[in-house]
């Protein structure tokens, strides 16, 4: 987590920009004379440049790269390199969830081969699915870590994550508490994904994880606002990185330069979070 936290503090920004390059929403000009994977990389390159003054990190949504076949994964590799050159740590939003040696292979893929700093991980298979990622991050010593899905922001999340006693989201939060090791930055290397659209679940996750770093999606396009973020803050008013994807990526709405619009939207989101006192 160290890498993320230092970047956030350096830029005084709690904003993570999510890179979800949905091909049908790319500026049409970008697709002319380019293969889809080239257009996606070019689009993301423009976004990186536009948001790098305002964002603490970028979160790469793997599905949109996987969908483009092997060349899509080459674009993912290129994107991680370019984010590094822009001084932006990368969260691989891969939500992988497998066990033991297999989880170790996924960890090696994203943290070592592709070079992301952090990975999102699914807790359904228990500690076996989470620990190998932490072990790989610790071996690499680049200040990385994992964000375990705890309380996600999608409509059907509650029907699974809150339908039992204790709720699955609580079991996930306990895994985060058990497995994380404290870093110099003041946060453990295991954090939690906690959406801003379900403040009640968020408050419970915070009670269970008073010191963990939260990655909070759902800000902006998914309808979550500053109020939802406040529910997630820790005792000292920090501990949250807020991720926004589509509200920034597609801010231009098909008019004007997508980079200018993205830069404006990112600055606005950062300022909104700053004004609300959200920080790490």
66 vs 61: CA distance, rounded Å: 9
Helix (H, G, I), strand (E, B) or coil at 180: coil
Six-digit token string for 244: 């926004």
Measured CA to CA, the distance from residue 148 to residue 175 in angstroms comes to 8
Is the CB of 127 or the CB of 226 nearer to its own copies?
Answer: 127
The binding site for its own copies (CB under 8 A) comprises 20, 22, 61, 63-64, 66-71, 73-74, 77, 95-103, 105-106, 108-110, 113-114, 122-129, 149, 152, 154-161, 163-168, 171-172, 175
Query: Is the Cβ–Cβ distance between 225 and 197 less than 8 Å?
Result: no
CB of 185 to its own copies, least distance (A): 28
Closer residue to its own copies in complex, CB, 7/153: 153
Q: Which of 67, 95, 112, 142 is catalytic?
A: 95
Q: How many CB atoms lie within 10 A of CB 78?
A: 15
**120, 91 Cβ separation under 8 angstroms:** yes
Looking at beta carbons only, is 130 or 262 nearer to its own copies?
A: 130
- Tell me whether residue 59 is one of the annotated catalytic residues: no
CB of 80 to its own copies, least distance (A): 11
Euclidean distance between CA atoms 182 and 180, whole angstroms: 7
Q: How far is the CB of 271 from its own copies (least distance, A)?
A: 28
Of 28 and 155, nearer to its own copies (C-beta) is 155
Catalytic residues: 95
């Amino acid at each position: 987590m160290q890498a993320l936290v230092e970047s956030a503090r350096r830029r005084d920004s709690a904003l993570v920009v999510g890179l979800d390059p949905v091909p049908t929403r790319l500026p049409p000009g970008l697709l002319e004379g380019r293969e889809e994977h080239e257009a996606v990389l070019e689009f993301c390159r423009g976004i990186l440049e536009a948001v790098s003054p305002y964002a603490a990190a970028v979160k790469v949504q793997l599905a949109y790269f996987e969908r483009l076949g092997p060349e899509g994964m080459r674009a993912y590799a290129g994107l991680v390199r370019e984010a590094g050159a822009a001084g932006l740590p990368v969260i691989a939003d891969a939500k992988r969830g497998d066990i033991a040696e297999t989880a170790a292979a996924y960890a090696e893929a994203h943290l070592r081969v592709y070079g992301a700093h952090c990975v999102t991980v699914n807790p359904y298979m228990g500690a076996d699915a989470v620990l190998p990622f932490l072990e790989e991050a610790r071996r690499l010593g680049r200040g990385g870590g994992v964000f375990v899905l705890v309380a996600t922001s999608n409509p059907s999340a509650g029907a699974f994550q809150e339908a039992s006693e204790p709720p699955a989201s609580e079991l996930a939060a306990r895994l985060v508490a058990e497995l994380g090791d404290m870093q110099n930055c003041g946060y453990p290397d295991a954090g939690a994904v906690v959406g801003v659209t379900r403040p009640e679940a968020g408050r419970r996750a915070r009670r269970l994880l008073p010191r963990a770093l939260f990655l909070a999606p759902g800000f902006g396009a998914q309808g979550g606002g500053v109020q939802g973020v406040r529910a997630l803050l820790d005792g000292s008013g920090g501990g949250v990185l807020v991720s926004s994807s589509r509200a920034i990526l597609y801010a231009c709405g098909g008019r004007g330069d997508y980079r200018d619009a993205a830069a404006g939207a990112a600055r606005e989101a950062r300022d909104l979070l700053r004004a609300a006192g959200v920080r790490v």
